[in-house]
Amino acid sequence: GATDMDCEVLVLGGGPGGYSAAFRAADLGLKVVLVERYATLGGVCLNVGCIPSKALLHVAAVMDEVAHLKAAGIDFGAPQVDLDRLRSHKDKVIGKLTGGLAQMAKMRKVTVLRGVGQFVGSHHLQVEETTGDGQEKTGSKQVVQFQRAIIAAGSQAVRLPFLPEDPRVVDSTGALALKEIPKRMLVLGGGIIGLEMGTVYSTLGARLDVVEMMDGLMQGADRDLVKVWQKMNQHRFDRIMLNTRTVGAEATPEGIRVSFAPAQEGGEAPEPQVYDLVLQAVGRSPNGKKIGAEAAGVAVTERGFIDVDVQMRTNAPHIFAIGDIVGQPMLAHKAVHEAHVAAEVIAGELQGNKELASAAFNARVIPSVAYTDPEVAWVGLTEDQAKAQGIKVKKGLFPWTASGRAIANGRDEGFTKLLFDDSPEAGSGDGHAGRGHGKILGGGMVGTHAGDMIGEIALAIEMGADSVDIGKTIHPHPTLGESIGMAAEVAHGSCTDVP
Ligand code: FAD
């Protein structure tokens, strides 16, 4: 059809990737159209991901903390949970943020088109208007012509084919809807999303089982970190089923009856169990196959990802892609940084600005956080990876039993661990040559607020800091963040015990 609107940059998808790209492009002076099918901007992260989960996890953490206070002589009695008010609290949190995004789009004169976008040509996207809070189509269509496009269409939860269509089987979005608190809940998949939601439901009263194909929960994190989390969370679980596959499920009046099999031959699997709620948290799949990419000449992989180069450019030179749709890790902070790169490259090319046009995504590390209680956070090289790759590292580990603040908080179960390059070449050529200490390669923390502190380790890695740099940086006392300086001193060998 004819073109109804044109722009310099078309952004498909209004999540953290999409709105960040649109805002940066507009700030750089470009005419931007942002297409989003839902009523609000913010994508998965703000509407059904990072933010609502953290609103609920905060409530759960305070409830758990209050229980810890019993030991300090403070007793609050049993909590009274009003799910309706908790739900509306969470919705208010989301509303503040998505409302803020709408304002910011307006201020920047970003045109937001509400509808489902499909590429219909190399420079054309058709938008079919949607309405309501879901995706009901109004039938009204328009075609937007663009010079450059940024695909930020994100991902959605993987659905296991053998699970029945039943309100008692949910994905993370269904779990965040917080319809009711089940007595018995199965968390299917022992990754971050499943364990975060499991934490919320368990604090609100559910008994948990978790089933995981691999040999441990929270894959990707070092086992010593996970062990601390697991010890503190054992009480939530009736069963932690590792090396176990879920093979069938049946809706019965009593609940969802789920059967299991060993992940490897020769293993043993538990008896079938009946649950009031089954949360599928077995991963997310990219939306690459649902946007008409072929019409624009953009290649999509078998699994629905879109491959990009370091400038976030797809195989079609005028089309870029960012966020969950370009691959792991599927994290909001990765999407935002990729978004800025794509917007800058486009602005640079359209405006003849060589410096902007050469922008590239070259982050050394991307931190990961499980916002459980305690939190588990890690960044860069892990100890397991160092072992597997034969990289020689010097470890500085600081147990929080030696942290004044952690003890004062009544939460000294955590620790902070830093890994420094200990290869023969390490330590030469930087400011502290000759002391035998290489640059920091990675770090991990488990403990309350670990996620708020891991950014410092990421900064140290980005700046090529060594143990002297970190150890001699004065951290305020008494804080949990001090443990990072202390861990560096432990690695450096100048301090073995602590005030
Ligand atoms: P999305 O956020 O998926 O946004 C894509 C948008 O595009 C959506 O709004 C979608 O409606 C729209 N869209 C797609 N196709 C079309 C189309 N054809 N037409 C119009 N619109 C379309 N990450 C973190 O970093 N920290 C966390 O704590 C965290 N917690 C999470 C908790 C949960 C429960 C979940 C599910 C995820 C969590 N994540 C977290 C991951 C995070 O939400 C994603 O990495 C992030 O949202 C990806 O951003 P994105 O812009 O790539 O895509």
ipTM field: 0.99
Contact 284, 330 (CB under 8 A): yes
**pLDDT digits 0-9 by tens, 5-53:** 999 999 999 999 999 999 999 999 999 999 999 999 999 999 999 999 9
d(CA 189, CA 195): 8
Q: Which amino acid is at 200?
A: V
267 to 213, 247, 251, 460: CA distances (angstroms)? 12, 14, 27, 43
DSSP 236: G
Catalytic residue among 318, 333, 477, 492: 477
Which residues does a 6 A CB cutoff place in the pocket of ligand 1?
12-18, 35-38, 43-45, 49-50, 53, 116-117, 152-155, 172, 193, 287, 290-291, 323-325, 330-333, 335, 371
Provide DSSP, 154-179.
Answer: -EEE---TTS-S-TTEE-HHHHHT--
Establish whether 477 is a catalytic residue.
yes
Instruction: Tell me the chain's radius of gyration from C-alpha atoms.
Output: 24
Instruction: Categorize the per-residue pLDDT at 379 as very low, low, confident or very high, splitting at 50, 70 and 90.
Output: very high
CA 266 to ligand 1 center in whole angstroms? 39
Q: Where are the alpha helices (DSSP H) in 144-233?
A: 172-176, 192-203, 223-233
Sequence-separated contacts (24+) of 200-206 with Cβ below 8 Å: 200/53, 200/56, 200/57, 200/59, 200/60, 200/175, 201/175, 201/277, 202/236, 203/59, 203/60, 203/63, 203/64, 204/60, 204/81, 205/81, 205/181, 206/181, 206/182, 206/277
**pLDDT digits 0-9 by tens, 474-489:** 999 999 999 999 999 9
pLDDT at 497 over 50: no
Q: Which pTM was predicted?
A: 0.96
CA 360 to ligand 1 center in whole angstroms? 22
d(CA 211, CA 204): 20
Q: What are the phi and psi torsion angles at 397 (to 5°)? A: -115, 125
d(CA 392, CA 422): 5
Q: What are the phi and psi torsion angles at 12 (to 5°)? A: -100, 105
Q: Which amino acid is at 351?
A: Q
DSSP 272: P
d(CA 442, CA 450): 15
Mean pLDDT across the chain: 95
**pLDDT digits 0-9 by tens, 72-118:** 999 999 999 999 999 999 999 999 999 999 999 999 999 999 999 99
CA 469 to ligand 1 center in whole angstroms? 37
